Amino acid sequence: EKKEAAARSALEQAREYARLRPEDLEGQLGRFEQAVWSAKETSLDFDARKERAAALTQLHAGIATDLGAVDARLKAACEREAFRAALDDLDSARRRYASSDWTSVIDQKSREIRELATRLYGPLLEKAVDARRRGAEEELTRSQERLARWGLEDLSADLARALAQVQNVRAAPPVPPEVAAYRSAWESALALAALRDAAGGVKLLEGSTGPELGIDLELLRLLAAVHDEQRQLLSKLPKGQKLSLAWLDDEGNPTQAAGTLLKAEAGRVELKKDDQTLTLLMGEILPSTWTELYRNRPAKKPAQDDRAAAFFLLIEGDPAITATIRSKPELQIPEKYLAWAARRRATAALPEAIEAEKRARQAFQAAEQELLVPATRALGALRCRELLEKSRDARFVAHNRAAIAARVDAGKDYVLLPDELTASGGFRLTTSKTGSAWAQEGDPDPAHKKENYVEVRYSVLPETDYRAWVYVGGCCTEGLAFAIQATQLRMAAADAPIAAEPGGDGSLPVKPAIVTGFKNHAAHAGKKPPLKWGWVELALPKGASPGTKTLRLLSDQPGFSVSVAVVSATRSAPPVESELKELQRVRAIEPDRAASRTTKLVPLPGLAAWYRADQGVVLAGATVREWRDQSPYGRHALQPTEARQPALAASACNGKPALAFDGNAKNLQANIPINGLGGITCILVSACEQDDDHMPRCSPLLWGETGNWGITHVAPRKSGIVFMFGTGQQSIVNYVRPAPQAGFTLTTARKDGPAESLFVNGAPVWSEAGRVAKLQGTSPAVSLGGDFNGSFFNGKIAEILVYERALPDAERQRVEQYLKLKYRLN
């Protein structure tokens, strides 16, 4: 009784403290932890542990919210270069929580602020010293005033010491007009050289006159030769050669790539290591790597190459090469180039210059993502054109001009095989000796004809007319009949044109001129003769506006099949059989490479957990002991008990692995705190052949509860999908599929405040507003494989992504596109 009373007292004290001090989340957690200790082996043990878990979740949520506020303030301060204010803010914020989850992040942010200031200070120091040496007092004052705004006394003192060592300052004499004109031309020539167009710099300077023209042209021609060699160097290397390249990743951070050379063309280089293919932009290979490759080329000339390499590194912005040039007069690189390089580095370090480079890099990454799929490929091409036109002076664009230019005409020709088409209604993906196709296997009601279609999604360029062909099959003339709908398509009518838009009531009938031997289904008396196949040209709207377009082939005829769709602005006829066979062969070996490229479609902000059956699976013999989280959090899913460990199916989903659960107490446990979130997105690729009632049984992804109706789960099944976001109120959703689904599907469940929605294979199938805005009573403990009152998942899981925010449609579609390409889902 004493133990029970002590436990009850400790728990009540913890609750009272939480009521009186709602802002002290750490204090609440400490008191609930004491209550858990006191409640061991008492009737209050479960309640104490449940409320301690809720307090921990609240603490994590509070830390996340406060970090977001800190980040917003830091961004504003750094944009103003108010570094002292930012550091003072961090010092103050550090006292908010004692948890290492908070202090370690704050300390890291302090280091990052210091590192940013140090990076900016180097070029500023060089520029200020050079200004003092030249007697440019106004320029020096601007540098000093800028540094003063930073508020960092140690850097200000360092600048003062450096300036004190610069002696004999004299005012610069007036510059004669002819000298000023030459200097202007020289500066312009070097600006081109910095964009890796030294040949353009030579042409610009050749029309000038001046005493320094000879050495200036000599250096620029030497650099132009380096640039010319740079464009060809990797493509001259034999395929299979081992390479180690230092380069800038998508975020602009230096990294290392090693592997065997596959190919180098159009501004890109492909390396293979183990079973992975890595594609790099040649323009992002670091100058130090280029100089190493240049010096080791077969036609190397050591003495000349040393001078060329040093000048190349100087123009590229390497500050370390300045000391080397000064210590080696034999390199014959005048001091004025060192001063120019210092000014160039200082300009490149300005916030506006950094932001411009960041925008160019982000625009290119957006274009790369759009170029991956036909529905947005033309949009990616247009974005590349805009980069070349409007951002040509950005370093990123200039260095990667070849790679960007190679994409500007993308979106003119599409040959789409069945795995790039989608279908609805009675159409099913079929495979035979002659290949795969979408076939109408039902006998749909003609009144629902518009719901039975094969869909082609593509994108078009402005002021470009396209033609379309489809390769269709049918058992008879009647079975080959179909109709089309298309974006901006109109049908002629007596009064006015009628819209034949996708999803509308209007459609344009098509009667293929394919000889079958049978007039209608009755003529072959219910037998199924071999399909007759042929190409049919379709009329697309002329002068369509640029962007994503949809073409639908509608048919309620049993046996009607679609194998290939072609939309092209360059073809005068559909592809011949040999071209199609080669395309099918290439596509058959490309999915793995496509999947590796499209991993970059996955947005990382807010990614709370990412489980992939092709990465991070730790086996204990034949079963899975650990599934390692690929998100930045490292929330690994574990199952130490061998009898409860799932298996690994090596080629479960179109050649990709999946974890296999047999419904017999198999699962993996992780900790993903989501309680209190107003936004969450769960995305799964899974297969489940069984059905159940609308309860959370047979769930591949399930969070427990710390309060009534706090369970959060997603359970895709054969005939439907059952899911719920735990909000403290009964809110189970039971979505019934139009037809039972065998095999793997892509399921996305999203909560955006009071709005909840469900998507299947990327298509919206259910949504509802007016629900409780935030998750309540949800435990951080999550089970991959489920465990609801002894009921477990019976099926396979290939991939799971959980976001602690509601993904906007554009980002959701990117993730879904990645998964559809990877697993070949429709």
- 320 in a structural domain: no
State the pLDDT at residue 702: 93
Residues 564 and 427 in one domain: yes
Dihedral angle computed from the Cα positions of residues 339, 343, 349 and 354, in that order, rounded to the nearest 10 degrees:
-130
Give me the chain's average pLDDT, please.
Answer: 88
pTM of structure: 0.67
Reported confidence tier of residue 172, pLDDT bands at 50, 70, 90: low
Residues 519 and 607 in one domain: no
Tell me the percentage of the chain whose pLDDT exceeds 90. Answer: 44
Residues 483 and 375 in one domain: no
For the beta sheet containing 242-248, the strands, ordered from the edge strand earlier in sequence to the opposite edge, are 242-248, 254-265, 268-273, 276-281
Residues 672 and 659 in one domain: yes
Main-chain dihedrals φ then ψ at residue 215, nearest 5 degrees: -70, -30
- Amino acid type, 60: H
Q: Quick count: other Cβ atoms within 10 Å of Cβ 276?
A: 11
Residues 406 and 418 in one domain: no
* Radius of gyration for the chain, computed over Cα atoms and rounded to the nearest angstrom: 33
Which residue in 674, 678, 632 sits closest to 780, CA to CA? 674
**Alpha helices for 98-250 (secondary structure H):** 100-134, 137-150, 153-164, 177-194, 198-206, 213-233
Q: What is the pLDDT of residues 733-764, one digit of tens each?
A: 999 988 888 889 999 999 999 999 999 988 89
Q: Quick count: other Cβ atoms within 10 Å of Cβ 766?
A: 16
| Strand pairing class (617-620; 413-416) | unpaired
Residues 430 and 528 in one domain: yes
Q: Which tokens is 685 given?
A: 């690729």
Residue 593 pLDDT exceeds 60: no
Residue 312 pLDDT exceeds 60: yes
Helices 591-598 + 577-589 axis angle, to 10: 60
Mean predicted confidence (pLDDT) in 766-795:
89
750 forms beta bridges with 681, 757
Q: What is the pLDDT of residues 101-159, one digit of tens each?
A: 788 888 889 999 998 999 899 888 988 888 888 888 788 888 888 888 898 888 888 88
Q: Which tokens is 584 given?
A: 């099918």
Q: Provide CB contacts within 8 A for 315, sequence distance 6+.
A: 190, 193, 194, 198, 223, 341
State the pLDDT at residue 651: 82
DSSP letter assigned to residue 717: -
Q: What is the pLDDT of residues 680-707, one digit of tens each?
A: 999 999 998 777 655 667 899 999 888 8
Mean predicted confidence (pLDDT) in 290-298:
91
Final residue of a structural domain among 33, 58, 79: 79
State the pLDDT at residue 167: 63
Q: What is the pLDDT of residues 473-528, one digit of tens each?
A: 999 999 999 999 999 998 876 667 888 999 898 999 998 999 888 998 888 876 77
- 212 in a structural domain: no
For the chain, first and last CA: distance in Å? 62
Upper half-sphere CA count for residue 441 (Cβ side, 13 Å): 11
> Distance (Å, rounded) from C-alpha 153 to C-alpha 655?
61
- 202 in a structural domain: no
The helix/strand/coil state of 286 is coil
Residues 630 and 704 in one domain: yes
Final residue of a structural domain among 18, 46, 79: 79
Residues 606 and 472 in one domain: no
Domain limits at 672?
598-823
Asked which of 151-160, 425-434, 435-444, 534-543 is least confident by mean pLDDT, the reply is 425-434
Give the rounded distance of the alpha carbon of 681 from its chain centre: 16
Residue 336 pLDDT exceeds 80: yes
Mean predicted confidence (pLDDT) in 175-189:
88
Helices 83-94 + 100-134 axis angle, to 10: 160
> Distance (Å, rounded) from C-alpha 700 to C-alpha 707?
21
State the pLDDT at residue 391: 93
State the pLDDT at residue 627: 95
- 153 in a structural domain: no
- 347 in a structural domain: no
> Distance (Å, rounded) from C-alpha 418 to C-alpha 563?
6
Reported confidence tier of residue 530, pLDDT bands at 50, 70, 90: confident
> Distance (Å, rounded) from C-alpha 422 to C-alpha 411?
19
Asked which of 18-22, 625-629, 639-643 is least confident by mean pLDDT, the reply is 18-22
Sign of CA dihedral 287, 293, 297, 301: positive
State the pLDDT at residue 605: 82
Residues 370 and 402 in one domain: yes
Main-chain dihedrals φ then ψ at residue 754, nearest 5 degrees: -80, -5
**Alpha helices for 516-667 (secondary structure H):** 577-589, 591-598
Q: Which residues of 421-460 are buried (b: 16+ CB within 10 A; e: fewer)?
A: bbbbbbbeeeeeeeeebbbbeeebeeeebbebbbbbbbbb
Residues 657 and 721 in one domain: yes
- 501 in a structural domain: yes
Q: What is the pLDDT of residues 56-89, one digit of tens each?
A: 888 888 888 888 899 999 999 988 899 999 999 9
Q: What is the pLDDT of residues 338-390, one digit of tens each?
A: 989 988 888 888 888 888 999 999 999 889 888 888 888 999 999 999 999 99
- 676 in a structural domain: yes
Residue 171 pLDDT exceeds 60: no
Final residue of a structural domain among 345, 378, 410: 410
Main-chain dihedrals φ then ψ at residue 343, nearest 5 degrees: -65, -40
- 511 in a structural domain: yes
> Distance (Å, rounded) from C-alpha 593 to C-alpha 372?
12
Main-chain dihedrals φ then ψ at residue 367, nearest 5 degrees: -65, -45
> Distance (Å, rounded) from C-alpha 85 to C-alpha 152?
10
Residues 504 and 389 in one domain: no
Residue 221 pLDDT exceeds 60: yes
> Distance (Å, rounded) from C-alpha 527 to C-alpha 438?
20
Residues 606 and 670 in one domain: yes
Burial class (CB in 10 A: 0-12, 13-18, 19+), 250: middle
Question: How many domains is the chain built from?
Answer: 4
Reported confidence tier of residue 788, pLDDT bands at 50, 70, 90: confident
Residue count of the chain: 826
Asked which of 159-173, 403-417, 706-720, 785-799 is least confident by mean pLDDT, the reply is 159-173
